[in-house]
Amino acid sequence: MKIFTAPLAHLIDALKRLPGIGPKSAQRIAFFLLRADGEYVQTLLHAIREARDSVRLCERCNNYTDREICEICADKRRDSTTICVVEKPFDIAPIEKTGQYRGLYHVLHGVLSPIDGVGPEDLRIKNLLPRLGENQVIEVIVATNPDVEGEATAIYLAKLLKPLEIKVSRIALGLPVGSDLEFIDEVTIIRALQGRTPL
Amino acid sequence: MKIFTAPLAHLIDALKRLPGIGPKSAQRIAFFLLRADGEYVQTLLHAIREARDSVRLCERCNNYTDREICEICADKRRDSTTICVVEKPFDIAPIEKTGQYRGLYHVLHGVLSPIDGVGPEDLRIKNLLPRLGENQVIEVIVATNPDVEGEATAIYLAKLLKPLEIKVSRIALGLPVGSDLEFIDEVTIIRALQGRTPL
């Protein structure tokens, strides 16, 4: 026999597909959603639709934004001669939180991974090159994650940018190997930025 | 400066209000929802609405159902002379999974908790009493959780049903199967000793 009534089973199934949500968490969230006040549920549903409808990628740096150009790229006070390259939009937040970086960003939305069939053409590198000339960029800091794919991507970028005579540096591997930039504390990130070395 | 674009920040805020979801999980789920295929997101939104619209409480036992009477109460093969009382609908699943219980259930949707201001009138006890006579119930098994509130609720029910001359029992409190006596807390050991059965 089915233990849960069909609509509840469907809800639990859908929730289980969210990252980090196992059967128990899905059940707990389903239970919460059933009993939550209508206003909150409307807020949640609206937020999901709104984010999907209005969030797009900044035309310059590929960060998430609801405009053509993201707030960071549009901020005239930022140092446009330095670009920090990261794997994904959520890697920007921990760097911003340090308050130590005043340059711009470029989000690749992935890393090179031959095993998964991800090549350079699958990353958002194309719109990086025009930025370098336009902004008279002096340095590109590669802040991809300190794992095999992140390293390979860093080396690829260094080779790609070498002919342009732009300084390409790599954040220091003060980061524990195998970790994820998204989850690193601020102090470690500051040290990693300071300890960057030429590639 | 705001680190996330407004629609994304709203989504993360809404997700953080789900039980067991901290800031990092909310961010991870938001990221996933932004990139997920449209079909899945539609399935999720529909499942939430559908569950909220169609799931209600069984008129007899207060379990979740999408009909007037839940599948368990409607099942003629179940033993209607035994009722197992649980705190919440999700407590039914683990008992059903044992395959050893063939009686019916009654869901209280809470437990007595004077500190939180929860009294008997806040629990769904009212529709338990008519069931006892109608079904010629022989035994009520109280399977509320083995904590202060669950115990208090069990004692309350025992007193309430005593005049009706119905057998009221409590699921055994004792050592979990496969555990090691060395690591069991004192209160559990006391309850296990008190509840000892002849060999």
DSSP letter string, chain A: --SS-HHHHHHHHHHHTSTT--HHHHHHHHHHHHHS-HHHHHHHHHHHHHHHHH-EE-TTT--EESSSS-HHHH-TTSEEEEEEEESSGGGHHHHHHHT---EEEEE-SS--BGGGTB-GGGSTTTTTHHHHHHTT--EEEE---SSHHHHHHHHHHHHHHGGGT-EEEE--TTSPTT--GGG--HHHHHHHHHT-EE-
Domain ranges of chain A: 6-54, 77-172
**Does the distance separating the beta carbons of B97 and A51 come in below 8 Å?**
no
**Chain B contact for A66, CB < 8 A?**
yes
For the domain made up of A77-172, the CATH class stated in words is alpha beta
List the structure tokens of B36: 């997920």
Minimal CA separation from B66 to chain A, in Å: 6
**Chain A contact for B24, CB < 8 A?**
yes
Please state, rounded to an integer, the average pLDDT across all residues of chain B: 90
Angle, CA of A69, A74 and A77, to the nearest 5°:
165
- What pLDDT is attached to residue A64? 94
- What pLDDT is attached to residue A11? 96
**Does the distance separating the beta carbons of A32 and B88 come in below 8 Å?**
no
**Which residues of chain B does A6 touch, with a Cβ-Cβ cutoff of 8 Å?**
66
- What pLDDT is attached to residue A191? 66
DSSP H helix total and E strand total for chain B: 8, 6
* pLDDT digit string, tens, across residues B120-165: 999 999 899 999 988 889 999 999 988 889 989 999 999 999 888 8
**Chain A contact for B74, CB < 8 A?**
no
* Alpha carbon distance A31, A100 (integer Å): 43
Minimal CA separation from A77 to chain B, in Å: 12
**Does the distance separating the beta carbons of A31 and B52 come in below 8 Å?**
no
* Alpha carbon distance B14, A11 (integer Å): 18
Say which of A18, A52, A96 has its CB closest to residue B3.
A96
**Does the distance separating the beta carbons of B92 and A3 come in below 8 Å?**
yes
Whether B81 shows a pLDDT value over 90: the answer reads yes
Fold of A6-54: Helicase, Ruva Protein; domain 3 (1.10.8)
**Does the distance separating the beta carbons of B75 and A8 come in below 8 Å?**
no
**Chain B contact for A74, CB < 8 A?**
no
Share of chain B above pLDDT 90, in %: 61
CB-count burial class (<10 Å; 0-12, 13-18, 19+) for A19:
exposed
* Alpha carbon distance B64, B11 (integer Å): 28
- Find, in chain B, the residue whose alpha carbon is nearest to that of A66: B5
- Find, in chain A, the residue whose alpha carbon is nearest to that of B68: A5
Tens digit of pLDDT at every position of chain A (199 positions): 567 889 999 999 999 999 999 999 999 999 999 989 999 999 999 999 999 999 999 999 999 999 999 999 999 999 999 999 999 998 998 899 888 899 999 999 999 998 989 998 999 998 999 898 887 899 999 999 878 898 899 999 999 998 888 999 988 766 766 777 777 877 778 767 776 766 7
**Does the distance separating the beta carbons of A40 and B1 come in below 8 Å?**
no
Spatial contact of A76 and A82, defined as CB atoms under 8 Å apart = no
- What pLDDT is attached to residue A66? 93
Spatial contact of B63 and B89, defined as CB atoms under 8 Å apart = yes
Q: Tell me if A6-54 shares its fold with A77-172.
A: no
Say which of B6, B41, B51 has its CB closest to residue A11.
B51
**Which residues of chain A does B93 touch, with a Cβ-Cβ cutoff of 8 Å?**
3-4
- What pLDDT is attached to residue A2? 67
Model pTM score: 0.75
Whether B181 shows a pLDDT value over 80: the answer reads no
